[in-house]
Structure 1
Amino acid sequence: MKQIATLLLFLLFSGFCVAQTPVLPLYNSTKDVQGAYYKDLQQDFQRFVGEWKYQQGSTELIVRIQIKEEQFIDYGDITFYRDFLVAEYRYDENGIEKINTFSNLLTNHTNPYKYNMVGSIIIKPISTNPDVCSNCGPNDVIVDGTFNEPNRQIDFLDPRIIFRHKVENGVEKIFFTLYANGNVYVNENEGAAQNQFFSYTIPFGRYELIKQ
């Protein structure tokens, strides 16, 4: 009887814990519920998973994208879980490999921002507000996120990425945009922050990548 009572107590406690962790949609949520799990319930991220390739002459960009589910996020005043897209990349110019971060995908980071491309903001067309997703088809999905290049930090610059999934004439594509918020300053004042770099290895711009 004691074992049965213990088991019932355990099941009751487990059910209570589960009840305290609501699963909410990642898309179009405010991310302000303590302990919630913001899940990609519509499986929008799944469209982006895999290897994608851009090629223009001897210039080549390959991006490998994965999903990281239920990642713990601590903002100090609130903690919750959410799904992320993470990616790494290789960029070749004139047939020469300039950067390759693929090996970072082999590490299961507990912090998703340890990956060099991270996306968690989903944007979709809204018929009543076309500016939300301009030039989007009704089934297009956009993921907005952050970009990093190892060993190349640029003060005052906030690099961002946009992945836009689209099917054109039966061909599955993502349009990848690398851009930055902020401005790079050249400051010659003694003691001021000095930038060693003023751009990233991958040039800012928009790239059309094909599913491999």
Structure 2
Amino acid sequence: MKNIYLVLMILISIITKSQTVIDINDTTYSTFNNTYHNYYKKDLNNLLDPFQGTYIYTSGNTTFKIVLKKMIKQPEGLHHEDMIIGEYQYLVNGVEKVNTLSNLDIAYSNQLLRHGIAGNSIISNINNRVWKCPQCNPNEKRARLTITDELTNRYADMFLRRTVINGQQVLQIKIANTDTVSYDVEHESPPANFSLPLGEFTMIKQ
């Protein structure tokens, strides 16, 4: 009887500790589905790899630099995820407005929430409504991340497309959909505007 009990306890332990692996490109699972507490959202086809690197956008006296890298099996609540994390530097007229690049190698307990740039959503439809791309190849994969403005603590969507222009590897970016901030108009000052670049622009890979 004791042996049967021991075997049952071992089986229960194995089942409890087993982890369901989910492809980051699989939209059939919801991260809010309580059925899958102990899952691993894995980049099975290395779709995040092409977005890694250092990229710079320059226009007149404005320079915007981002550094992106892929992180494997990072803890996120009760599960794990592969993801892109990143940081940035923003200069206007030679004056550094903000620089978070030194935070890139910090291993936060929650990487998605703490890094300046983070995420792992894959966009596959060439005319996806969040960022239409009629020039994209039918099977081309783009990424959707979140960028947080350290100066105002506001955030926005950051869409990425890797491509080549005139033989140069580039990252086409769209930063949009800033968060909405509620405030008491009678007793509070309006929230600060999102201070990082907004719109669409092309960044050169370094």
Shorter-normalised TM range: 0.7 to 0.9
Cross-structure match for 2:192: 197
Cα drift, residue 153 of structure 1: 3.1
CA gap 1:188/1:54 in 2 versus in 1, 3 angstroms: same
Aligned CA-pair RMSD: 2.8
Q: For residues 121-154 of structure 1, what are the alpha-carbon distances to aligned partners after superposition, in whole Å with 9 as ceiling and x for unaligned?
A: 111236xxx4465322235322112221224135
Give the gaps of 5 or more residues in structure 1.
1-8
Task: Give the alignment of 1:81-100 within 5 angstroms.
Answer: 81-100=80-99
Cα drift, residue 20 of structure 1: 1.6
Cross-structure match for 1:23: 21
CA gap 1:182/1:102 in 2 versus in 1, 3 angstroms: closer
- Equivalent-residue separation in structure 1 for 2:20 and 2:150 (angstroms): 36
TM-score, normalised on structure 2? 0.78
What letter corresponds to residue 163 of structure 1 in structure 2? L
Candidates 160, 182, 196, aligned match of 2:157: 160
Contact 2:98 2:150 in 1 (8 A): no
Give the gaps of 5 or more residues in structure 2.
1-6
What letter corresponds to residue 58 of structure 1 in structure 2? N
Cross-structure match for 1:211: 205
CA gap 1:17/1:110 in 2 versus in 1, 3 angstroms: farther
Runs in 1 of length 4+ with deviation above 6 angstroms? none
Cross-structure match for 1:38: 41
Does structure 1 residue 142 correspond to structure 2 residue 142?
yes
Contact 1:184 1:198 in 2 (8 A): no
TM-score, normalised on structure 1? 0.76
Contact 1:125 1:137 in 2 (8 A): no
Residue-pair matches, total: 188
Paired residue secondary structure (1:206): strand
What letter corresponds to residue 141 of structure 2 in structure 1? V
Task: Give the alignment of 1:97-176 within 5 angstroms.
Answer: 97-112=96-111, 113-125=113-125, 130-131=127-128, 134-135=133-134, 136-138=136-138, 140-154=140-154, 159-176=156-173
Contact 1:140 1:166 in 2 (8 A): no
CA gap 1:17/1:52 in 2 versus in 1, 3 angstroms: farther
Contact 1:144 1:162 in 2 (8 A): yes
Contact 1:52 1:63 in 2 (8 A): yes
